[in-house]
Amino acid sequence: MRYRPILPATAVAMLLALVALAADVNGTWKADFTSPDGTPRTNTFTLKADGQKLTGTVKGSEDETQIENGKINGDVLSFTAERPFGKFSYTGKISGNEIKLKVEFNDQSFDITAKRVSN
């Protein structure tokens, strides 16, 4: 009886399909939004994924801080950043060239959309 490598080939194909489905978060993303107090703001996110670990920075008009606790799983990401006004938590979902983020700070939360910046 001849050995047929169907199972290993199927496993490799499934793994490649999962990698292809993983969202590409690497790069620069810009979000223009109005904060809950009515102030127009711009944040620029520079993100890099290494497996399920997410690193990078958040840049506002007055600061640029490292993200902390960064995680990515498929198209879902989360991280925190210690900003001049305190600790912000971000959770979101990547879809093509947009990341829809929920931002939480103190007892406030608001939604923003970051768009990929072309290099």
Q: How far apart are CA 102 and CA 50, in angstroms?
A: 22
Mean pLDDT, rounded, of the chain: 87
The predicted-structure confidence for 95-109, as pLDDT tens digits, reads as follows 999 999 999 999 999
Quick check: 73 and 50 in contact, CB under 8 A?
Answer: no
Q: How far, rounded to the nearest angstrom, does the alpha carbon of residue 79 sit from its chain's CA centroid?
A: 8
Q: Does 1 score more than 80 pLDDT?
A: no
3-state secondary structure of 17: helix
Q: What is the pTM of this model?
A: 0.80
Pick the CATH number of 23-116 from 3.20.20.410, 2.40.128.20, 2.60.120.260, 3.40.50.1370: 2.40.128.20
Only one residue has tokens 């060239």, namely 97
pLDDT of residue 23: 77
pLDDT of residue 51: 96
